[in-house]
Structure 1
């Protein structure tokens, strides 16, 4: 019964909680408690057969002593002994009587004042191990003063069997002493073993794990502090691998955080520059009419380029801000005609470019499963990159040309954007699609390719550099249909 008015199941829950209390807390405490329990369990598994074997050995010694006493009797003429000698033989054997069976005949060799009854009988000749264990514990925990008869096999072929009758109390007392000694010895062994195992595991596992967890907590509190990056040990086991991987991950996180901090600072600076450029453009538009009235050919030639340069600077600032703010939204996909979209891209990309031929090799019936706005931005970024590469090499290029071609294959739309410019420099090839490092021009930022790659990934596709060199550069965009987005795009070289 629990407390008055308290349900019994709540009292049971409290009892169960008290049982599990030693396993709560730190890993070291759990390790110590579990080690002691497991070692004690192993000792119990040894204790049970040990006590049973001790009881069996004690009885066999009584049988051997009784057999020796019977041999002493047979050595006397006509088996006659004095009462004093008989009492001494029985006392040494610690039995009431001995019966030796030979030639299928039972003969009482020794007898004393026998007890009125025998409380239990055991036969050791065909006893199984489990039965011996059960009999031993029955003797150990019996509270009655029993007289037992035990049958066994005589030593050295002295007969078919030998039986003795004795008081069980000395056996129980001997078993209790032996069990107590074994228990104390097991307890000492368990504590010593558990202590040694605990010390070894504590220094090999627990302390390194504490170091790892402590470092994780400290790093989480201030990841920008380089002193909180864990210093890996020289261990070559799993703990060493975890330390090295944790150190690598922490360094990468610090680098990412530093990069984000730099991008945030860059965004602040770009926003200020964009604001100033917009003010400059507004002022320039106010005087554009007056500049247009000037008949100087040089002014007429440079004025549009000036406004175009300011417009491009503002567009670059806007791209930088948009790239640093957040991820692109999830594309709203639908089947769209690709050729009209490509024609809009060509119109937007060719406004400020003179002398470049734009070719749209797009079947009129070709459809693409994509977000039209995001696909437009993707194609426009690559088209402008190709246009800028040709504009810079206009003096050396013959018949500059940008070609946009597309085809459908296996549930994917492949769009190739090619130019016949000088090709990408090695530095640009090594850092393609990386912002602020993959630009082909010396003053480029690489944001166009980075944004284009992000838009392609949002559709489940990708962008690849097919070829580049003196003969020109070709990029391939793979846009899978929504139903085939989980499949790999076809090989680039297909």
Structure 2
């Protein structure tokens, strides 16, 4: 199944989760690009139209200056009225004047207006004044009379021109229309180019990632639903690789959980029958109590305790399959005696080359659930024994030692062995079921169960050291906090 096929199936079944075109990133990107380019064109338009207005006035004033030079050389009074009107009509002005050495001389005039509305000094027109004047002419002009003056070229003379702004405004409107059309065309072309580039670089990969996530959510156990990252070094490439990694990890985790669920169902079925068998064994052990043989009588109590624990574990497995471990029922325990029970259950062969050392002080007490702490120590010790049993050399020291210390109200129990140490893979997945096993074929459930039971006591299970010839686990269990009401009650009791 290809990626496109997966996306098509996802879109068909998850139509309500897909994004329509009207709300997609593509349309938003296109609209925003057009809008931003138009805003940029508007910002450019103001100085542009102001410059157009100044250039239009300068051209008229330059033409008037050329005409004025001719009229000054020839006597302007010698011109007939018809010729003067033709000159002013060609420029579009009402009057032309020149100022030389402080003396102003009117050269040509026709229909002199009663008043002038605005005076424009082209030499002193700054950028802001030019833009404000252009906006004023564009929106409010068309019926005003302007007096434009200034020097032209290197001439010392100052030329003046009285001209209506109607033609100027019409020219500005035509220029604005052309600029608006050109701006819209540039905006559309720019938007299409930007849209095409960003769509290729970003939108399509994001759409592919979205389709992959929807397809993966429909069938997370299907390896074909995992996205195939492109060979890119940017943020999209990093996101695709991270998404692929998360999908693989999630698929692996789901597989492990399914394995756990299947295993739990199988264990529950086996456990149901095992509990009946253990019940029968308990009845047989009760009958052994009647046997007068001293050897039998010495083993019966141990057998009874072992069977009681087996029945308790069997019931606990059933309860765990339904919910989780029961909360610890904590009491003050003599740890050395509990360690002796662990040693008896392990059944270490004295001739097997493995030495068990109970280094716990006889007076040492710990505040814990006896059955759960027994399971913790049993799991840790079994792992240690299995690690040391793999070494068959007679000269190698194989010793399992359990010791304890107290720091304030915190008890620390150490389980140390002289085995080969944990491999790196087991240390990386120390308390993970089915991944933290140190031997081939192991499940890693022992450490996972021990870790859960210790955490239920508010403590911690840690790997203190693991090198060739020495591995140490530490079980830290803090004492229960004393309830304030109980403490006050004990203080009120008479001595």
TM superposition score normalised by structure 1? 0.76
Measured after TM superposition, the shift of residue 146 of structure 1 is 1.5
Change (3 A) 1:145 1:427: closer
Q: Of the candidates 361, 372, 381, which is equivalent to residue 377 of structure 1?
A: 372
Larger RCO (alpha carbons 8 Å, 6+ apart): 2
1:214 aligns with 2:211: yes
CA offsets 1:201-241 (integer angstroms, 9 cap, x no match): 12221121111112112211221222221122222221111
Match of 2:231 among 226, 234, 247: 234
Match of 2:358 in 1: 358
Cα distance, 1:456 vs structure 2: 5.0
- Could you tell me which residue of structure 1 aligns to residue 26 of structure 2? 28
Q: Which residue of 2 aligns with 1:287?
A: 284
- 1:452 is displaced (CA, Å) by 2.5
Secondary structure of 1:385's partner?
Answer: helix
1:447 aligns with 2:445: yes
Report if aligned partners of 1:100, 1:106 keep a CA contact under 8 Å in 2.
Answer: yes
Q: Which moved more, 1:80-89 or 1:26-35?
A: 80-89
The answer to whether the Cα contact below 8 Å between 1:323 and 1:451 also exists between their aligned partners in 2 is: no
Aligned to 2:148: 150
Q: 2:463 — aligned with what?
A: 464
Query: How well do the aligned residues superpose, as a CA RMSD in angstroms?
Result: 4.2
**Could you list the runs of 5+ residues in structure 2 that have no partner in the other structure?**
1-19, 351-355, 482-495
Tell me by how many angstroms 1:180 deviates. Answer: 0.7
Aligned position for 1:268: 265
Task: Please state whether the residue corresponding to 1:155 is helix, strand or coil.
Answer: coil
1:107 aligns with 2:96: no
Q: Displacement of 1:422 after TM fit?
A: 4.1
Deviation of 1:87 after TM superposition, in Å, equals 2.4
Report the Cα distance in structure 1 between the residues aligned to 2:59 and 2:462, rounded to whole angstroms.
Answer: 91
Matches within 5 A, 1:124-139: 124-139=122-137
Deviation at 1:158, TM superposition (A): 3.4
**CA deviation map 1:30-77 (0-9, x unaligned):** 111111100110111111111111111000001101100101112215
Question: Residues 181 and 481 of structure 1: is their aligned pair in 2 closer, same or farther, counting only changes over 3 Å?
Answer: farther
Q: Residues 67 and 468 of structure 1: is their aligned pair in 2 closer, same or farther, counting only changes over 3 Å? A: closer
Secondary structure of the structure 1 residue equivalent to 2:23? coil
1:333-352 paired onto structure 2 within 5 Å: 340=333, 342-343=335-336, 345-352=338-345
**Is 1:249 the counterpart of 2:242 in the alignment?**
no
What is the aligned residue count?
A: 449
Name the CA distance, whole Å, in 1 between partners of 2:301 and 2:442.
Answer: 22
Q: Which runs of 5+ in 1 are unaligned?
A: 1-21, 484-494
Q: Deviations over 1:174-199 (max 9, x none)?
A: 11111111111111111111111112
Normalization by structure 2: what TM-score? 0.76
Q: Which residue of 1 aligns with 2:71?
A: 73
What's the secondary structure of 2:71's corresponding residue? Answer: helix
